[in-house]
Amino acid sequence: MKYQSTRGEAPILEFGDVLLAGLAVDGGLYMPLELPEIGRADLRAFANLPYTEVATRVLAPFVAPSIDEDSLGRMVEEAYATFRHPDVVPVTELPSEGANDHHIVELHWGPTFSFKDVALQLLGRLFEHELERRATSVTVVGATSGDTGSAAIEACRDRGGIELVMLHPRGRISEVQRRQMTTVASSNIHNVSIDGTFDDCQDLVKAMFADSSFRQQRRLAAVNSINWARVAAQTVYYFTTGTQLGGGERQTSFCVPTGNFGNILAGYIAAQMGLPIDRLIIASNHNDILTRTHISGLMEIEQVIPSTSPAMDIQVSSNFERLLFDLSDREATWLRTAMQDFRGNGQLPLSEALITRLRNIFDAGRASELDVEETIADVHSATGQFIDPHTAVAVSVARRLEAGSSPIAIMSTAHPAKFGDVVENATGVAPAQPEEIKELYGRTESCTDLPNELNAIMEFVSSATNA
């Protein structure tokens, strides 16, 4: 499969090159030239197959010819053997008073109890495979609003050919999220806290990639969802969930707590590949740029306000660029100018045609901090289940935006114990902590505090990685 940049000025690459490149040299994001199609017979078969087999079948076209299907299958099996649930991504019913059946898609049974594990456990192995094949090494740089960092670190720790530098916004992630990163003692892992927001961290990462000399010298690679492999891997659980609930024939709606837009974009990609999807529901907290865009047609940056769902405290959703690229019939020239203007003045007005296309498949809603607290309490009271605040955002929005008759699959993106204080404040009961989380509090933390300055970050990367 061949890949092109959303901004149209970067070389067309195969998967192995896209994997290691992450961000395109023109600042764009890679997309397949064409998406593979999955027919109804295959979809019906998926309903009865284990997660690993579905993953291999769905992902094989994306990685060919860089990686053969047997090698992919081996890496898939190894990646999901690390998960704590035999189904990898189990689906449970959530009682609903509305017309639609509600279901919780439990994406948090990986090593770090986050949905990011689903893609990153595989991504770490894909990196290692490609680096061994090329006999080279990379410096992975990433930004995290909480869960990407720990999942990437767990996936890349002690792997040959990889040095990893992870930036996080100081004081804006949960204590468990921080400790999952900063207590990893592996010599190839380097944690940095930035005085700023996740958007600041993400901008610093993109700026390093934009410096062609630094990028080449340090052989930079990305694990954020700017890396296409992340998005591709996430499409799999839309196929397993959709076919489980709809048998490959009936449509399913998905409600997704949304920050950087990678998770819900994977649902859009799955729909374009043939999965019957009714609606994709963007669930925002009060940092609601995507919901405001859906309502008004104007994407406009506002101040990031900290919340109890920090992975969603974002105003610049990188993967929205991929969606705009596809919805605009892949008009790279328009998109390049539009994104440059957006970063310059903080506004991007969408045409009537674009906003109509967006609304044809996406709904959007927001949940306040009070909504989150009340939803966590309500779900616990009704079912005895705990849900984390990101999941609560999605449950709250799904309950208010029911449409049609399709079942609604609500993406549960983090284990409630990662946000134990928030959950306890809402329910009066502390969720049980897995032993792996309890152990974090007895470990020594290691992290470097740096200012929100590109030169300081680049100097740290150079000195820490010795690439």
CB neighbour burial string for 26-42, b if at least 16 within 10 angstroms, e if fewer: ebbbbbbeebbebeeeb
Q: Is 24 exposed, middle or buried (0-12, 13-18, 19+ CB in 10 A)?
A: buried
- Which 3 state secondary structure label does DSSP give 62? helix
Cα of first residue to Cα of last residue in the chain, in angstroms, is 30
Selection from 27, 30, 29, 46 nearest residue 38 by Cα:
46
Q: Is 212 exposed, middle or buried (0-12, 13-18, 19+ CB in 10 A)?
A: exposed
CB neighbour burial string for 383-398, b if at least 16 within 10 angstroms, e if fewer: eebbbbbbbbbbbbbb
Sign of CA dihedral 3, 344, 258, 162: positive
255 and 410 in contact (C-beta within 8 Å)?
A: yes
Q: Choose the catalytic residue: 2, 116, 206, 418.
A: 116
d(CA 126, CA 140): 13
Segments in 104-174 forming alpha helices (H): 116-134, 147-156
E strand intervals along 248-338: 252-257, 277-284, 298-300
Please state whether beta strands 189-194 and 13-14 pair in parallel, antiparallel, or not at all (unpaired).
Answer: unpaired
Whole-angstrom CA distances from 208 to 145, 196, 319 are: 18, 17, 18
Active site residue 116: yes
d(CA 416, CA 236): 23
- Token pair, residue 173, equals 């992630």
Name the residues annotated as catalytic: 116
